[in-house]
C-alpha cells in the first residue's frame, strides 16, 4: 500500500511538474498530454477504463485536459460503457486499458460495438518499443489482434503524429456506419517528449459529415409502393434512434396512420404507447405484410432474415441504408435507397402528403386484422400479469415494475426471458431510452450500459432515472460494477429478476434432490444456478440495505424506496418461479435454417 501511494505521489508530482514547466515554456510536451489534448479537441467527453502500467499517467493527463474519467472494475464493462456513451451522445466514448490482457479483455466489447454499429475508440497502452520481440511485459501483437473488430487500428509512429491518428480514429468511428477504432500506445510513445511547437494539436477538425440525402426518384418509388400496398408496415430500428430521426418518423406515422413495429432498441422512436404500434401483433404483422419500409434496421436474425415462414414469400422490402454494403443482405429488396434515415423520411413524408395518402384504421381490413390479434395477445398477457400467486411470474413482475418506475426512465435490460418478455411490458416513449444485448446478443452489458446512461443523465438530463433490469445469470457477468456506481454516486436502480438459472432454474429443494445423486458436475443441469441467491446483500458491502421481494407489494415498496434515493445505486432482488416462461410462440424465436 505504501509503495502504491508512493508511486502515485511520484506520478502526481511528475504530472504537475510537467504542466508547470510547459506553462513556463521551458520544456516540451509528452505523449500523454498530446493524446489527452487531441481527444479533447476532437470533442471526446467521456473515458472509461482501468489503469495500470503504462497508462496511469495517461488517465491523469485526461483529467488534466478536462476529460471525464470513470474507473471501472472490468475491461469489458468499461468497453460496454464507452460504446453506450457513443450511442447516446453520437460522439465516441473512449475505453482506456493496459497492454496485453487489458486489451484482450476488451475484445468482446469491441466486437459488440462493431456489430451493434456504435461509435467507440479503444486506447491501450502497450509494451515499450525497445522491449518488443524480446519478451517484454504484457507484450502482444495488439494492432493486428484488433483489426478484426475495428474499422481502423493503428499505432502512431511518433508523438508528433498522435493528433492525426486521434482525428482519424474519432472520424472513422463516427462516420458512415459507426463502429470501432483502436489506437495502440507503447509506453515509450506516451512518455516521449517533443517540442510543443512541432506538434499539430489543432490537427484539423473537419466539418460535421453532412447527412446523405436520397435520390428523389427513389423516394417517389417508395411512395408509390407504399400507397399501392394493401398491407404496408414500417419497421423502425436502432439506426433510426441513433440518427435522431424520431421527429420525421413520428410525422410519417401520424400522417399516414401506417402500422409500425420497433426493433428492441428502436423502441421509443415512435412511442410504444402510440395507437399505431403493433408490437403486440408482431408475428402477424410480419407474416401478412405485403410492403415493408425498413428504417434503420437490418434484415438479420432479429428480423428473421425477411424470409418465409416468418414473412410472405412475395413481400416487397423498401430498404433505407447508410451503408450500401448491407443492401440485399439476406433477401433481395424491391427498392434499396442509399440515405440517412432522417432526410429520406422527411422527403417521403412530403411525397405521401402530396398524394394525400393515409390509412383509416377503422375502415381498413389490414388494420382490423391487426387489432384483433393485438386484442387476443393483450388479453393473454393481462391474464398472466394479473396473477399475484407466489412465486411470481415474469408478466406480473414487469407489470408492477412498469407501474412503479419514473416515467420515461432509461431502461437497460439483459438476460434471456428477462429481456425478451420485458421489452413487451417495459415501455419506451422516448428514443435512445432502451439499451439491451443488441444485435450481438451479448450478456454482461447491463451494468456498463447503466453506468454510461447514468453519467449521461447526470450531465444532460438531470433527474431522469436509469433502471437496469437483469436476469440473475446476466447480472453475474459484471455485478461488481455496483462498486463503480457507488464510487461515482450514480443512482442506478438494479432490478434482478431471479429465477435461479439461465432460461429456467429449480427451487432449492428440487436442486438439492438433483445434486444428491452423485458427482455434482455430472448431475447439475447446465442451466441451473444456486437457488434464491441474496444478490441484494451486496448493498451491505457499502453499508446500505438492498431489497428482497417475493410479492407484488414487496416490489411496489422497494421501487418506491429506491426512486427516493438520488446519490447511490439500489438493488432489488425479485424471486420468481424458477419454471416461469414466456407466452407460447407461433414460431421458434430464432429462425432456423432449413438446409
DSSP-derived secondary structure for 118-165: --EEEEEEE--GGGTTTT-TT---HHHHHGGG-SEEE--SSGGGHHHH
Residue 205 has pLDDT above 80, yes or no: no
Are 401 and 539 contained in the same domain?
Answer: yes
Are 177 and 129 contained in the same domain?
Answer: yes
Residues 309-318 have pLDDT tens digits of: 999 999 999 9
Residue 223: pLDDT band by 50, 70, 90 thresholds? Answer: very high
> Is the Cβ–Cβ distance between 330 and 299 less than 8 Å?
yes
Strands 93-97 and 120-126: parallel
pLDDT reported for residue 353: 96
Are 48 and 188 contained in the same domain?
Answer: yes
Are 450 and 528 contained in the same domain?
Answer: yes
Stretch 546-572: mean pLDDT: 98
Does 17 map to a domain?
A: no
Residues 116-135 have pLDDT tens digits of: 999 999 999 999 988 988 89
Domain count, the chain: 3
Domain that holds residue 180: 28-198
Are 397 and 535 contained in the same domain?
Answer: yes
- Could you tell me the CATH number of the domain that includes residue 150? 3.40.50.970
> Is the Cβ–Cβ distance between 167 and 205 less than 8 Å?
yes
Are 279 and 336 contained in the same domain?
Answer: yes
Are 448 and 513 contained in the same domain?
Answer: yes
Cα–Cα distance between 522 and 518 in angstroms, integer? Answer: 8
pLDDT reported for residue 587: 65
Instruction: Give per-residue burial for 376-390: e unless 16+ CB within 10 Å, then b.
Output: ebeeebeebbeeeee
- Could you tell me the CATH number of the domain that includes residue 253? 3.40.50.1220
The overall pTM is greater than 0.75: yes
Stretch 516-529: mean pLDDT: 91
Does 586 map to a domain?
A: no
Stretch 325-344: mean pLDDT: 94
Comparison of pLDDT for 201 and 76, the residue scoring more: 76
Domain boundary residue, one of 372, 406, 440: 372
Residues 574-594 have pLDDT tens digits of: 999 999 987 776 666 666 654
Are 176 and 52 contained in the same domain?
Answer: yes
Are 471 and 528 contained in the same domain?
Answer: yes
Does 378 map to a domain?
A: no
Strands 68-71 and 29-30: unpaired
Residue 1 has pLDDT above 50, yes or no: no
Residue 6 has pLDDT above 60, yes or no: no
Are 282 and 159 contained in the same domain?
Answer: no
Residue 268 has pLDDT above 80, yes or no: yes
Does 312 map to a domain?
A: yes
Does 152 map to a domain?
A: yes
Cα–Cα distance between 224 and 254 in angstroms, integer? Answer: 19
Percent of the chain with pLDDT over 90: 85
Are 73 and 115 contained in the same domain?
Answer: yes
Does 594 map to a domain?
A: no
Strands 193-194 and 29-30: antiparallel
Stretch 532-547: mean pLDDT: 98
Amino acid at each position: 500500500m505504501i509503495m502504491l501511494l508512493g508511486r502515485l505521489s511520484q506520478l502526481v508530482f511528475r504530472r504537475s511538474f510537467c504542466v508547470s514547466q510547459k506553462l513556463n515554456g521551458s520544456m516540451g510536451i509528452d505523449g500523454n498530454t498530446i493524446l489527452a489534448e487531441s481527444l479533447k479537441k476532437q470533442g471526446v467527453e467521456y473515458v472509461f477504463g482501468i489503469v495500470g502500467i503504462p497508462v496511469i499517467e495517461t488517465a491523469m493527463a485526461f483529467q488534466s485536459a478536462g476529460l471525464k474519467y470513470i474507473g471501472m472494475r472490468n475491461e469489458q464493462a468499461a468497453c460496454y460503457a464507452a460504446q453506450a456513451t457513443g450511442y447516446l451522445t453520437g460522439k465516441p466514448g473512449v475505453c482506456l486499458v493496459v497492454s496485453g490482457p487489458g486489451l484482450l479483455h476488451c475484445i468482446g466489447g469491441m466486437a459488440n460495438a462493431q456489430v451493434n454499429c456504435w461509435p467507440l475508440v479503444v486506447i491501450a497502452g502497450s509494451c515499450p518499443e525497445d522491449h518488443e520481440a524480446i519478451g517484454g511485459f504484457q507484450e502482444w501483437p495488439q494492432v493486428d489482434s484488433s483489426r478484426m473488430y475495428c474499422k481502423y487500428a493503428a499505432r502512431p509512429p511518433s508523438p508528433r503524429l498522435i493528433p492525426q491518428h486521434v482525428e482519424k480514429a474519432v472520424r472513422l468511428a463516427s462516420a458512415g456506419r459507426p463502429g470501432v477504432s483502436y489506437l495502440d500506445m507503447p509506453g515509450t510513445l506516451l512518455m516521449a517528449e517533443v517540442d510543443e511547437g512541432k506538434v499539430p494539436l489543432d490537427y484539423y477538425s473537419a466539418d460535421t459529415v453532412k447527412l446523405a440525402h436520397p435520390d428523389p426518384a427513389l423516394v417517389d418509388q417508395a411512395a408509390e409502393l407504399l400507397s399501392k400496398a394493401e398491407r404496408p408496415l414500417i419497421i423502425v430500428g436502432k439506426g433510426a434512434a441513433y440518427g435522431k430521426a424520431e421527429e420525421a418518423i413520428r410525422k410519417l406515422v401520424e400522417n399516414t396512420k401506417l402500422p409500425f413495429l420497433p426493433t428492441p432498441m428502436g423502441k421509443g422512436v415512435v412511442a410504444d404507447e402510440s395507437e399505431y404500434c403493433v408490437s403486440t401483433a408482431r408475428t402477424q404483422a410480419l407474416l401478412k405484410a405485403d410492403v415493408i419500409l425498413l428504417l434503420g434496421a437490418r434484415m438479420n436474425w432479429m428480423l428473421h432474415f425477411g424470409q418465409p415462414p416468418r414473412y410472405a414469400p412475395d413481400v416487397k422490402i423498401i430498404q433505407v441504408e447508410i451503408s450500401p454494403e448491407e443492401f440485399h443482405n439476406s433477401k433481395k429488396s424491391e427498392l434499396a435507397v442509399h440515405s440517412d434515415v432522417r432526410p429520406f423520411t422527411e422527403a417521403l413524408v412530403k411525397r405521401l402528403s402530396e398524394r394525400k395518402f393515409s390509412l383509416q384504421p377503422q375502415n381498413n381490413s389490414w388494420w382490423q386484422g391487426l387489432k384483433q390479434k393485438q386484442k387476443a395477445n393483450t388479453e393473454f398477457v393481462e391474464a398472466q400479469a394479473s396473477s399475484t400467486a407466489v412465486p411470481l411470474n415474469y408478466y406480473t413482475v414487469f407489470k408492477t415494475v412498469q407501474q412503479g418506475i419514473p416515467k420515461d426512465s432509461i431502461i437497460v435490460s439483459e438476460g434471456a426471458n428477462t429481456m425478451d418478455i420485458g421489452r413487451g411490458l417495459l415501455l419506451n416513449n422516448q428514443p435512445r431510452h432502451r439499451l439491451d444485448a443488441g444485435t450481438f446478443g451479448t450478456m454482461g452489458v447491463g451494468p456498463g450500459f447503466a453506468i454510461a446512461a447514468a453519467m449521461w443523465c447526470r450531465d444532460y438530463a438531470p433527474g431522469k432515472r436509469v433502471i437496469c433490469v437483469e436476469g440473475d445469470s446476466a447480472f453475474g457477468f459484471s455485478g461488481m460494477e455496483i462498486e463503480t456506481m457507488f464510487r461515482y454516486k450514480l443512482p442506478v436502480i438494479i432490478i434482478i429478476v431471479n429465477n435461479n438459472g439461465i432460461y429456467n432454474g429449480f427451487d432449492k429443494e428440487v436442486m438439492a434432490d438433483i445434486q444428491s445423486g452423485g458427482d455434482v458436475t455430472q448431475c447439475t443441469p447446465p442451466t441451473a444456478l444456486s437457488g434464491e441467491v441474496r444478490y441484494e446483500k451486496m448493498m451491505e458491502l457499502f453499508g446500505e440495505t438492498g431489497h428482497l421481494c417475493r410479492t407484488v407489494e414487496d416490489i411496489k415498496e422497494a421501487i418506491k424506496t429506491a426512486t427516493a434515493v438520488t446519490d447511490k445505486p439500489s438493488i432489488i432482488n425479485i424471486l420468481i418461479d424458477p419454471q416461469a416462461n414466456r407466452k407460447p410462440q407461433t414460431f421458434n424465436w430464432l429462425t432456423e435454417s432449413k438446409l
